[in-house]
Amino acid sequence: MYFSGTKTTKKVVECIADRLYKEMCDAGEEAGGGVLCAAGIDFTPPEARTRVYRFGPDDVVVFGVPVIAGRVPNVLLGFLDTLQGGGAMAVPVVVYGNRDFDDALIELRDILESKGFHTIAAGAFIGEHSFSRKLAAGRPDADDLIVAENFAKAIAGKLRKIAESACACEEPVEVDGQEPLRPYYKPRDRQGNHINILKVKPKLDAAKCDGCGICVDVCPMGSIKAEAPGIVDGICIKCCGCEKLCPQGALYFDDPGYLYHKEELELGFADRKEPKIFI
């Protein structure tokens, strides 16, 4: 189950879930039982967040969100409050753009626990930064996905131990982060002044736009309409799905503060970060 504007979180979550499914199927066959796997739940489209999702004690949910400003995206908080864990086990996963995941993982863990899930493992992975094609370019890459697969194997091992001990509930998985949660990360210039990019939106190069409508389909806020493709006429969370997934390259950002912040991230956080997992 995931929210993924540019498909990086989706890639990580599906890798973990697919491998976990295989591991548990193999274990089930050895034990004479079976494992059922439902289709993944993509709650990126706005309409997907109008539904209520209910789980039960036989479910294991790999649950992924991107990190925005060091936290769980605030536009998701209302939706997350509708989840009904029902005693399901959960694996919170956050994906960040090579700066830091700050308090996003502990925040997601606590949200899932509060909604009736039992968190048994957690992970923070790296994806290409939504603002940039340089920062963590191409990630998650093959090495990241090896980590994800090994993570899934470790989760499967823990699930088997839980089943063998008939333990109905465990303490929440320990993860990095601070409580109380720190404020949202704010970009600043070299003098320490806040660069406010909250209202910045991509612009459209109409000469390049062929009206394909991909930007309409991928906008997680429903802010681009079919009658005006490429025009962001509503909330923009700067997931940059419309810009990165446009086959014509018709969307772009030219706000000076946004571009300055992007370049500072590329310069300041170029060193490769590695995934962190918690079991």
Query: Are the CB atoms for 55 and 86 separated by under 8 Å?
Result: yes
- Torsion angle, alpha carbons of 219, 224, 226, 231, to 10: -130
Query: Are the CB atoms for 203 and 253 separated by under 8 Å?
Result: yes
Q: Residue 32: its pLDDT value, please?
A: 44
Task: Please give the chain's pLDDT, 279 residues, in tens.
Answer: 999 999 999 999 999 999 999 999 887 655 445 556 666 999 999 999 999 999 999 999 999 999 999 999 999 999 999 999 999 999 999 999 999 999 999 999 999 999 999 999 999 999 999 999 999 999 999 999 999 999 999 999 999 999 888 765 679 999 999 999 999 999 999 999 999 999 999 999 999 999 999 999 999 999 999 999 999 999 999 999 999 999 999 999 999 999 999 999 999 999 999 999 999
CATH topology for 8-182+273-278 is: Rossmann fold (3.40.50)
Residue 118 forms beta bridges with which residues?
A: 89
- CATH number for the region 203-254 comes to 3.30.70.20
Say how many C-beta atoms besides its own lie within 10 A of residue 180's C-beta.
Answer: 6
Domain boundaries defined on the chain: 8-182+273-278, 203-254
For residue 94, give Cα distances in angstroms to 5, 63, 277: 13, 8, 10
